[in-house]
Amino acid sequence: MTEQFDIVVVGAGMVGAALATGLGQSGFSVALVDRETAPVFDPIQDPDIRVSAISAGSERYLRRLGAWGHIDGMRTTPYTRLAVWDDSINPLSSLLPRRLNRTTFSATELGVSHLGHIVENRVTQKALWDSAASQASVSLMQDDAVASIQQDSRQAAVTLASGQVLTCQLVVGADGANSVVRSLAGIGTSRDQYGQHALVASVRVAGAPGDITWQAFHPSGPRAFLPLHAASGVKSQSESWASLVWYDAPDVLARLKTLPDRDFLSEVQTAFPEELPALTHVAARASFPIARQHAHHYSHNRVVLAGDAAHTINPLAGQGVNLGFQDAECLQSLLHEAKRAGDDLATGRLLDRYEQRRRPANTRMMLAMDAFYYLFSNRIPPVHLIRNLGLGLAQRVPFARNQVARYAMGLDDGSSGPLQAWLKALPKPPFMTRHL
Ligand SMILES: Cc1cc2nc3c(=O)[nH]c(=O)nc-3n(C[C@H](O)[C@H](O)[C@H](O)COP(=O)(O)OP(=O)(O)OC[C@H]3O[C@@H](n4cnc5c(N)ncnc54)[C@H](O)[C@@H]3O)c2cc1C
């Protein structure tokens, strides 16, 4: 069977589902295809192991899509403070008081109610599937994967594994880091594999949900705490959920992943800084390799990429999906203009403008993540001293600190002023493995 649409979006992850919602609001007929079935949310289920720090900028976008109310109605945890410090032991550590090497970003100082929210990916994705499905012109096709794509000067035809054929003017690949759409379109990538992997754990901690998220840097990798909602149905009423991330060498994390729960909790409690509340339970653990990947082109003929299909970055500052939402918003607005002008939706001019707007912003964020990785993942004493002084100085220079905060909150794209100069001057990490 063949069906015709304006646009086919492959991948109903957070980015694809957001884009399909926005395109539906602009009156496009859209097929939104995913190989998985619809995400399910139950308020008594344990949190999804995949959580994201959703920036204030992304929250605004999700509000415009009409999805934020639904997300908030399920579960979100706002945070008003974000702290970063260097926790490594070094011969020069004794030169600095412990609190000097710490920077704290605060909503109060920025004059906003919160810096962002920690949200389970399942919650964001469900809200966006529902908002996409509520658009009359969006057809959701689940449990079906893309098998092939043919294109000519007039249209593209997407054949699904079920045999269904979808014809359209434009195919959007929002199918994640291992994008099949990207491969079918013949778009290559540059890929840098970091030496560290990330172990994520869903845990319960003593006490009510906190309002602070923090990251302590060690030479072997950062250790991060992301607060989640209050735990219900447990014996003690004063427990809450949290997500922990431990970045380290793959063999270290492989051992941690297989430890019995009690040993795992005790090792984490010892290895994490004293700021970690008492751990009471671990519900799930998973580890991920970390790579930086960037598509050589964001489009080819009638195929365009968005989100992780176009770029993946080191998750240490939790910016991946926030960049993907910015891609979706940019593409949506260019397609809206083309529709109003009565243009083909896949002209080279339109798709080049998309890449010209998004590639520099995505590259800037990648460079910033590399700088953090490079500065903090080594044991060289002078670098240790510089980064400690840097964090201490940042704490004492509110203008610089607030500018970085606005960039991380998605309220500033980092394209002007001292932040851009700093990002341009950053060195490339010398110890990453490059796969082209
Ligand atoms: C440890 C870790 C922590 C992270 N923390 C954060 C954070 O705090 N904040 C943040 O912003 N980002 C974070 N990220 C990154 C974030 O998770 C990703 O950037 C985000 O999930 C990308 O969304 P996406 O929709 O582009 O791709 P995905 O989430 O990968 O979605 C792709 C979708 O496409 C579907 N699909 C794939 N192939 C096909 C096919 N052939 N046919 C049909 N459908 C297909 C999949 O089923 C899926 O639904 C983190 C990543 C990691 C690894």
Distance CA 309, CA 172 (A): 10
pLDDT tens-digit map of 29-53: 999 999 999 999 999 999 999 999 9
Residue 206: per-residue pLDDT: 95
Q: For 73-83, what is the mean pLDDT?
A: 94
- For the cut 80, the answer to whether the pLDDT of residue 298 exceeds it is yes
Mean pLDDT of the chain: 87
The domains of the chain, with CATH numbers, are: 2-46+120-191+293-364 (3.50.50.60)
pLDDT tens across 362-375, in order?
A: 998 888 877 777 66
CB 365 within 8 A of CB 420: no
308 alpha carbon to ligand 1 midpoint, in Å?
A: 6
- Nearest atom in ligand 1 to the alpha carbon of residue 306 is 26
Largest CA distance in the chain: 72
The atom number, within ligand 1, closest to the CA of 174 reads 26
Flag whether the pTM goes above 0.85: yes
- Element (H or E) spanning 305, and its range? strand 303-305
Residue type, 178: N
Please state, for a pLDDT cut of 90, what percent of the chain lies above it.
Answer: 69
Q: What is the whole-number distance in angstroms between the Cα of residue 3 and the centre of ligand 1?
A: 27
Q: Distance (Å, rounded) from C-alpha 429 to C-alpha 94?
A: 27
Ligand 1 pocket, mutate which of 34, 40, 126, 179 (most atoms under 8 A from CB):
34
Predicted local confidence at residue 431, as pLDDT? 41
| Helix spans in 342-434 (H) | 348-376, 381-396, 398-408, 417-424
Nearest-angstrom CA–CA distance, 377 and 220? 6
pLDDT at 413 over 90: no
- Determine the pLDDT at residue 430: 44
Query: What residue's CA is closest to ligand 1, atom 52?
Result: 315
- Say how many Å lie between the CA of residue 212 and the centre of ligand 1: 25
Torsion of the alpha carbons at 287, 292, 296 and 302, rounded to the nearest 10: 40
Which of 36, 37, 40, 52 should be mutated for ligand 1, with most atoms under 8 A from CB?
52
User: Tens of pLDDT along 87-110?
Assistant: 766 655 555 555 556 788 888 888
Burial class (CB in 10 A: 0-12, 13-18, 19+), 54: buried
Identity of the highest mean pLDDT range in 124-133, 204-213, 216-225 = 124-133
Distance 176 CA to ligand 1 centre (A): 5
pLDDT at 168: 98
Q: What is the pLDDT of residues 253-294, one digit of tens each?
A: 999 999 999 999 999 999 999 999 999 999 999 999 999 999
